[in-house]
Structure 1
Amino acid sequence: MTADIAVVLGLAFIAIILFATEKLRIDAIALLVLGTLAILGLISPEQAVAGFSNAATITVAAMFVLAAGLQNSGALSGIGDLLSKAKSPFQFLLVLFLILAAIAPFVNNTAVVAVFIPIVMTATARIGMSASKALIPLSYVSQMAGVCTLVGTSTNLLVNAIARDMGHPGFSMFEFTSLGVICMAVGCVYLLTVGRWLLPDTRGSELVEEYELGKYITELRVMPDSSLIGQSVGDAKLGEEYGVFVLELLRDGRKVWGPREQKLEQDDILLARGDWTQLDELRKQTGLEVDPQFKLEQKSFEQVEQVLTEVMIAPRSRISGGTLSALGHVGWYKNVTVLGIHRRGQVLREQLKTVRLRVGDILLLLIPESEKSDLRADKNLIVLSEREAEKKMGWRAPFALLTMALVIALPALGWVPISITSLLGAVAMTLAGCLQADEVYDSIDWRIIILMAGLLPLGMAMSETGAAAFLVENTVGLVQSYGPLTVLAVVYLMALLLTEFMSNAAAAVLLTPIGMSTAQMLDVDATPFLIAVTFAASTSFATPVGYQTNTMVYGAGGYKFTDFIKVGLPLNLLFWVLGVVFIPVFWPF
């Protein structure tokens, strides 16, 4: 092992740990990797910035804009009404899968799921079906459909870009379709049969018509006339009487030890957890108030023409990582009162104004009636409660659909590269008014763009220093004697496991050079191994953190971590078997 190989592998290992632990943002990790490679001279200055001008990076950025144009133009309106016509849960899922099969191969699946979450929650409530029976399938099928085309996910484009840089001819628009359709068909049958039985029936997570989506945590201040003054939390029996549990007692800004035994005083703050209806009943009956410090603007809860609504922090939200205190100074948020926070899988025990918001957090908001349009237009949030039908924009809807069709069709015919058609399509939608110029920049998930551009040079370094070849010889090389099919199964399994615990794009960057080196070691075509990496990295089912769409439905559906293991692990193994069987059929060694 040379020094360069040791450094590259060490850097890749550190990156894997950082991605898995989420101690830093994924884009920050990518830039740290990029900077370290450049400083150590493992890549040239030209190679260091090549990722920012790579066709894959440009295409993914343009695809985000195209997806926003489709949504804003009203081209996707009417889907909710179509789903609401389903007569049974089975029929509902079947219609949902068919719609996703038509849309997700051509629109970024993260954007698809963001659009569909409120639609699915509303439609399931109308037919009396639990949303938890539909949201995991929404995430899974969007991934399955996304892998059917070159542009369905950023991972497909990333593997294609790295492979081209390493001398592979690359993939066509519908290169993955044959295997993708087989996997999606089998996956949909699984979700309609065994998967339906394994999915939880969490009726309490449906908050489209009632505000019962989860256990909210809020701050309640003891007012001068409160009946709780002089009583302890234990004596008041708030849990037994109201179903509300006091997590912490704050007095003069500090936590009080043993909150259940302390006699309550005026201006004490109770950090309480429960369904909002129970919290509100407690507030009214005992003389408590939502702590004014927790409100973005001080106003009475009973103020007329206020709307109670629930929103989820979107994947590329600018307010992710910020606090409620900072939020109160930004735009229309100044007129909003945040009543509670729901974070799936975690009980918050700190003062809520200091909590760092995360993707998937659900906020219970009180907003003026006049601010509803601003709320719906805000791309930082996904509205989960029932909302009005999106306004149609006349000719712009068919224009957006035609533009998207041309963006896909022209590269498929081999006339124009996808990077050029996607850019021109984004410009056309902007000029047509499908989205405003400022919305173009807001629609792009810049963290994904920086991640791609920052990690592409790592793939180059792994190849040029021999790190990929060294890794192959000491891992999959151990099963080389069993033939290329066994090696393919091992490579697919490696990608499958790695993707469940870190960014799928990062897994693709690390494993694509390994796939190429594996083919060189066996003296066979690299395409089967690259296909295995692509499919494994683009379909992550077993954990809620393995793929962004899983994280999005995790909170909205009221799921447990184990729900993804129960439903997703068999599906992952099913895809592994399908891949090992069919990849050599379509792409012989």
Structure 2
Amino acid sequence: MPHDPCPMTLDIALTLAILLAVILLFVTERLRPDLVGLFVLVILVIAGLVTPTESIAGFSNPAVVTIWAVFILSAGLARTGVAAKLGEQVIRLARARPNQSRGSDEARLLTVLMTSTALLSGFMNNIGVAAMFLPVTIDIARRTGRAASRLLLPMAYASLLGGMLMLIGTASNLVISDFLRDVGLPPLGLFDFTPIGLAILVVSILYMNLIGRRLLPDRQTPRPLAAANSGMADRDLRTLYGLEERLAMLILPEDSPLAGRTLTDSRVGRALGLNILSIERKNGLRLAPDPTLILEGGDRLLALGRLDQFEQISNRPLFHLENDRPALQHLLAADAELAEFEIAPGSAFAGKTLVEVGVRQRFGASVLAMRRGDRVRRTNLQQLVLEPGDRVLIEGLPVHLRAFADQPGFRTLSLEEAEAYNLEKYLLVVSVPEGSALGGRTIQEARLGAAYGISVLNVIRQGRDWFLPDASLTLQAGDQLLLSGHTTDIEVLRGLQTIKLQPNVHIDLTELEDGPFAIIEVMLSPYTTLAGKTLRQLRFREKFGVSVLAIWRGDRAYRTGLADIPLQYGDAFLCYGSRERFEILARERDFFVLKLDVQEKPRLEKAPFAALIMLGVVAVVLLGWLPISVAAIAGAALMVLTRCLSMDEAYRAISWQAVFLIASMLPLGLAMQQTGAAALLANSVVNLVGPYGPVAILAGIMILTLAVNQFIPSAVNAVVMSPIALATAANLGVSPYPFMMGIAYAIASSFMTPVSHPANVLVMSPGGYRFSDYVKNGFAISLIVLLVGIPLLPIFFPF
């Protein structure tokens, strides 16, 4: 029977408006999800939909506490090698048997891999399991002679299916259980998910063996990154990446102006956009040369990259240096001023480069010099990291300089006061000749700052001045440029122009992997905070000592302009450097190194402690001695006490973004319950499919949950759908458990898009997957969840 609709009230309208805004923000990705959650928390209080106490109660919620504790427990199992040991067993079981066909061997391999991944994911965080099994799966592909694309997606799906096996399998399971506790009902048990979850897992594995594996791509050709770690022939690797066409030998003349300069100071890499892989000289070969290596005349530099920049400067001069040195007063326009300010310890500028601060782009000013202690820096300022105590000299219009007025020690300077910076020595006037590569290019395209450390302060054209010209200004032959630089910068440019080029060299890449050096794939981890930043902003080469040869995104490789490409989730890098450097990189939470032998060595002697602690947590919860939140905290503390993890490692293991997101979104679920918004939405569902009975309503709610799950984080979906499921059960006068379990299984079904779950993003680049690959198999497994779950739920959880 149709139910009477709940009356629309102002509070319900406000709650639904906030809910709609949240969904739109998640879909458009205009703001970080955790930041959206914090804004929602504040808005709910301001609107009077929850009390201040209720708004922050989520941070002490048992589900939230359990979530961060499980992150630590998972890290303990991974750090001590317990999980890796299981992975080794997978490799052992996955080895082909004699006289077994390739098809049946692959079916057995998928069964073992998916079962092992899913069972481990029942106890551990599923993102962590997917990350841990990623190099294991690539190694299995190498040993069995398969493309990694045949195995990685089933492994990722298995990590998600494992979340359906236990209460602690996913954060959304814990959130749903806590909603039951909040309304006075017994929370879900640790193994309440297991019977139906196992049935879904078994049917899904059967599907992958019989049908799904036939839909998996066999993409060795577009997947060079996986090849780098799967034993693929080096010739194939070069072909896949197009490295052969991008390799060239740069030969320095014996009297090169670059001789005696370091590799960094020569600007070969930055100015020409090339990666220097090795340097061959009379006394031997230097692989992965350090940026501080001194160049010598006659050096042969093996370079990787496009030669556009080299060709632009090699045959024609960029500009002519004028003999007349400009006076300081020529630096300023009639209405421009000079000012200086100090970088305070708490300044937003501290720890950033001038490029990151965007002094010219954001504020319309130009940095002329910087004083650090007794030393004044006037050139190559763009990538200099600002430190507290630095004094910065800037030029600009008064309206632009006011943006810096709140900085400590801000004051305007006269030309006489600015003479202390000795700027005249570093002012150059150059002219753009006919045929120059600068003609017809904008200042930004000319890359004088990024390539040579030279700033354009003024452009003089036919008697007209452009002071602090916009980066979009197009240069023309005959222009005079007032530059902030040094004659040594011009000497570097001339040195680059004397380099001889030997294009299309044929080098066996195995020669570059001699001894401690290796070409290894590195990925952004699912927990990275670096999305949106560039390698240049991260100072990646300087910080980690490895070179990025290419970036793999989607189904193609990028090999040019890598330093300035904003990074995205799922990006993978082909890197070259020493194994020692890769071992350091492997300890960074933002990156994931896809090579087992350079990852941090596990504390194997602590493995028995970690395993016993995890078993103990499960046992005390099963016996009812402790609630799961307290048991998980105890287990996390014991992981640190027994030195399975250090305290710092425990803190790093927690995904604080997920914790803050869930804690700050829980008040929205409470507002939906208290205002009647959940009841209103539940009535709509009941009125739509109610005449067909509770099973049809269960199916409708699961399908709705599954659809919403493709667009918003799963934990947020649990917050939104739990009140609706509870209200639906109350309307029907039946048990809420089948509905709550139904939305739990539906929320765990994040199979259909690469962005619906971090585990899916994680395998996209190593597997070379496309969006359609996820849709084909993801839709089928989501359908399995519905077809298996809907009939079994009323049996195990009667209405």
Which residue of the other structure, out of 98, 110, 115, is the alignment partner of 2:115? Answer: 98
Matched, 1:404 2:411: no
Which residue of the other structure, out of 484, 491, 503, is the alignment partner of 1:285? Answer: 503
Q: Give the CA deviation at 1:383.
A: 1.4
Instruction: State the distance in 2 between where 1:377 and 1:543 align.
Output: 29
- 2:688 aligned residue: 478
- 2:536 aligned residue: 325
- 1:192 aligned residue: 209
Which SS does the other structure have where 2:575 is aligned?
strand
* Equivalent AA in structure 1 for residue 666 of structure 2: L
Matched, 1:252 2:443: no
Which residue of the other structure, out of 637, 649, 656, is the alignment partner of 1:446? Answer: 656
Instruction: State the distance in 2 between where 1:459 and 1:370 align.
Output: 49
Relative to 1, partners in 2 of residues 1:420 and 1:363: Cα closer, same or farther, differing over 3 Å?
same
Instruction: State the distance in 2 between where 1:515 and 1:338 align.
Output: 49
Q: Does the CA contact (< 8 Å) of 2:579 and 2:598 recur in 1?
A: no
* Equivalent AA in structure 2 for residue 252 of structure 1: A
Relative to 1, partners in 2 of residues 1:464 and 1:320: Cα closer, same or farther, differing over 3 Å?
same
Which residue of the other structure, out of 710, 713, 719, is the alignment partner of 1:503? Answer: 713
- 2:219 aligned residue: 202
- 2:154 aligned residue: 137
Relative to 1, partners in 2 of residues 1:389 and 1:89: Cα closer, same or farther, differing over 3 Å?
farther
- 2:45 aligned residue: 38
- 1:168 aligned residue: 185
- 1:108 aligned residue: 125
Q: Does the CA contact (< 8 Å) of 1:162 and 1:456 recur in 2?
A: no
Q: How many residues align?
A: 536
Listed as ranges, the matches of 1:505-584 within 5 Å are: 505-584=715-794
Instruction: State the distance in 1 between where 2:513 and 2:737 align.
Output: 64
List per-residue Cα deviations over 1:319-341 (Å, max 9, x = no partner).
Answer: 334321232179x8342322322
Q: Give the CA deviation at 1:305.
A: 4.8
In structure 1, the gaps of 5 or more residues are: 232-248, 258-265, 268-282, 288-300
Instruction: State the distance in 1 between where 2:147 and 2:313 align.
Output: 38
Q: Give the CA deviation at 1:308.
A: 2.0
Which is greater in Rg? 2
- 2:14 aligned residue: 7
Listed as ranges, the matches of 1:254-273 within 5 Å are: none
Q: TM-score, normalised by structure 1?
A: 0.84
* Equivalent AA in structure 2 for residue 307 of structure 1: A
- 2:28 aligned residue: 21
In structure 2, the gaps of 5 or more residues are: 1-7, 97-104, 247-272, 274-304, 317-442, 448-470, 475-491, 494-500, 506-511
- 1:153 aligned residue: 170
- 2:527 aligned residue: 316
Q: Give the CA deviation at 1:474.
A: 2.4
Instruction: State the distance in 2 between where 1:373 and 1:349 align.
Output: 24
- 1:63 aligned residue: 70
* Equivalent AA in structure 1 for residue 528 of structure 2: S
Which SS does the other structure have where 1:571 is aligned?
helix
Q: Does the CA contact (< 8 Å) of 2:521 and 2:594 recur in 1?
A: yes
Q: Give the CA deviation at 1:472.
A: 1.6
List per-residue Cα deviations over 1:254-307 (Å, max 9, x = no partner).
Answer: 8999xxxxxxxx99xxxxxxxxxxxxxxx97259xxxxxxxxxxxxx9999543
Listed as ranges, the matches of 1:269-418 within 5 Å are: 285=503, 305-328=516-539, 333-344=543-554, 351-385=561-595, 387-388=597-598, 391-418=601-628
Relative to 1, partners in 2 of residues 1:54 and 1:304: Cα closer, same or farther, differing over 3 Å?
same
Which SS does the other structure have where 1:539 is aligned?
coil
Q: Give the CA deviation at 1:77.
A: 2.8
Relative to 1, partners in 2 of residues 1:227 and 1:63: Cα closer, same or farther, differing over 3 Å?
same
Percentage of identical aligned residues: 35
Which SS does the other structure have where 2:169 is aligned?
coil
Q: Give the CA deviation at 1:163.
A: 2.6
- Greater helix share, structure number: 1
Which SS does the other structure have where 1:24 is aligned?
coil
- 1:243 aligned residue: none
Deviates more, 1:15-24 or 1:218-227: 218-227
Relative to 1, partners in 2 of residues 1:21 and 1:163: Cα closer, same or farther, differing over 3 Å?
farther
Relative to 1, partners in 2 of residues 1:223 and 1:553: Cα closer, same or farther, differing over 3 Å?
closer
* Equivalent AA in structure 1 for residue 743 of structure 2: V
Relative to 1, partners in 2 of residues 1:201 and 1:411: Cα closer, same or farther, differing over 3 Å?
same
Relative to 1, partners in 2 of residues 1:436 and 1:456: Cα closer, same or farther, differing over 3 Å?
same
Q: Does the CA contact (< 8 Å) of 2:583 and 2:599 recur in 1?
A: no
Relative to 1, partners in 2 of residues 1:181 and 1:345: Cα closer, same or farther, differing over 3 Å?
same
Which SS does the other structure have where 1:416 is aligned?
coil
Q: Give the CA deviation at 1:216.
A: 9.1
Q: TM-score, normalised by structure 2?
A: 0.63
Q: Does the CA contact (< 8 Å) of 1:80 and 1:123 recur in 2?
A: no
Relative to 1, partners in 2 of residues 1:479 and 1:216: Cα closer, same or farther, differing over 3 Å?
farther
* Equivalent AA in structure 2 for residue 62 of structure 1: A
List per-residue Cα deviations over 1:534-554 (Å, max 9, x = no partner).
Answer: 000012111111112111112
Deviates more, 1:47-56 or 1:540-549: 540-549
Relative to 1, partners in 2 of residues 1:585 and 1:285: Cα closer, same or farther, differing over 3 Å?
same
* Equivalent AA in structure 1 for residue 503 of structure 2: Q
Relative to 1, partners in 2 of residues 1:476 and 1:228: Cα closer, same or farther, differing over 3 Å?
farther
Deviates more, 1:146-155 or 1:430-439: 430-439
- Greater strand share, structure number: 2
Which SS does the other structure have where 2:549 is aligned?
strand
Q: Does the CA contact (< 8 Å) of 2:721 and 2:743 recur in 1?
A: yes
Deviates more, 1:344-353 or 1:24-33: 344-353
CA root-mean-square deviation: 3.1
Q: Does the CA contact (< 8 Å) of 2:83 and 2:120 recur in 1?
A: no
List per-residue Cα deviations over 1:332-354 (Å, max 9, x = no partner).
Answer: 83423223222216887995434
* Equivalent AA in structure 2 for residue 285 of structure 1: P
